[in-house]
Amino acid sequence: MSLLLVLFFGINISLGSVSIPFSDTISSVFGGETTNNSWSYIIWNYRIPKAFTAILVGSGLALSGLLMQTLFRNPLAGPFVLGISSGASLGVALLIMGSSIFSSIAAINLVSNVSLAIISSIGSFGVLFCVIIVASRVKDTMALLIIGLMFGSITAAIVSTLSYFTNAEKLQQYVYWSFGSIGNLTWEQVTILCVICVLGVILSIISIKTLNAMLLGENYARTLGINIKKMRYLIILAAGILAGSITAFAGPIAFIGLAVPHLTRQIFNTTNHKILVPAVLIYGAILMLLCDTVAQLPSSANILPINAITSIVGAPVVIWLLVRKRKMIF
């Protein structure tokens, strides 16, 4: 598994718009000389940060999806069921399109990658915060799921209203953001994302025992001595910071969070989170590296939107697995 991850990492960084021989890639990674100096620059400042981002995004979203599916006992739940990505979209939509409506002067300076990341974090956490407040008032986790979906609808409605009134250029800018991109991160941003993801993973590891108990249902989990209310917050928080920060830096990446936990469950044929948590981290990373490799269309100058690729690559795999096993394992 880990070997596979390293292999895909290698393939990922050796392919790109500028064709660099594999031997040069390897020697560059290990600090050696390359035939062409700019190659080393490309690899160290563009491809490796991008590959690391892919790993973080893939693992983080997959783990977040696993947490949500177990918490809601619903195979269709994903990292974004709590309205996290719609919150981020709302933030970004307000920044890009709202600025053109409210003040056209400030707009040009405002819209940069960093401010996009900040505003979408604020958006996702804003929505997550609302959902948590509501969560403290409802006892039923299923109701929480519906509430999350409703928040998603509201934000989607606001976004479409904004796009109706905005000009074509701003709209295009917003649409580009929603395609998702993992190639624009600097080393500093990768480091920040990495720290946040590690925090999310630690929270998830703490929750492993609870997650296993939740396989019996919340009522059984309660009689096993688990403080359901507290653990529910902890799991939502873990999923929220993972999905929220990733959406902030890489845009709303679809599908990984929904599909990887299913793939992992099918492959390992288990529901034990002691196995699932590390397994989804690795599978998520592998799938994301693979998608990114496909997205940059090796040796071509074009880069396809990553958000489309994750679904095109991922969906058939899940369908194939389900058809082969003939039933859904949850």
Partner 1 sequence: MSGELLIKEKNTNTYTPQQLALEISVVLTEKIASKNLTVLELIALGRQPYTNWIGNLTEKDKTVINTAISKVDLLELKHKKCYELSDGQMQRVMIARALAQDTSIILLDEPTTHLDLYHKANILKLLKSITYNTNKTIIFTTHEIELGIQLCDKMLLLNTTNNPYGSPNELIEQKHFNSLFPEDTVTFNATTATFRVKK
Our CA dihedral for 56, 61, 62, 65, rounded to 10 degrees, sits at: 160
Q: Based on the number of CB atoms within 10 Å of its own CB, is 302 exposed (0-12), middle (13-18) or buried (19 or more)?
A: exposed
Q: Could you give the string, one character per residue 146-185, with x where binding to partner 1 holds by CB under 8 A and - elsewhere?
A: ----------------------------------------
* Nearest approach, Cβ of residue 83 and partner 1 (Å): 23
Task: For the segment 290-329, give every residue that binds partner 1 (CB under 8 A).
Answer: 329
* Piece of the chain touching partner 1 by CB under 8 A; list 46-54, 85-93, 105-113, 212-220: 212-220
* Nearest approach, Cβ of residue 196 and partner 1 (Å): 23
- List the one residue from 112, 227, 299, 300 that touches partner 1 (CB under 8 A): 227
- List the one residue from 272, 298, 319, 320 that touches partner 1 (CB under 8 A): 272
- List the one residue from 109, 133, 225, 302 that touches partner 1 (CB under 8 A): 225
The Cβ-side half-sphere exposure at 282, using a 13 Å CA radius, reads 14
- List the one residue from 11, 26, 46, 73 that touches partner 1 (CB under 8 A): 73
Contact between 213 and partner 1 by CB under 8 A: the answer reads: yes
Nearer to partner 1, 137 or 327 (CB): 327
Q: Give ∠ CA 100-102-107 in degrees, rounded to 5.
A: 45
- List the one residue from 29, 134, 226, 315 that touches partner 1 (CB under 8 A): 226
The dihedrals phi and psi of 119, each to the nearest 5 degrees, come to -65, -35
CB neighbours (10 Å) of residue 317? 15
Contact between 67 and partner 1 by CB under 8 A: the answer reads: no
Q: Give ∠ CA 184-245-81 in degrees, rounded to 5.
A: 120
Nearest to 56 by CA among 249, 260, 327, 211: 249
The dihedrals phi and psi of 34, each to the nearest 5 degrees, come to -115, 160
The dihedrals phi and psi of 304, each to the nearest 5 degrees, come to -80, 155
Nearer to partner 1, 112 or 270 (CB): 270
Contact between 202 and partner 1 by CB under 8 A: the answer reads: no
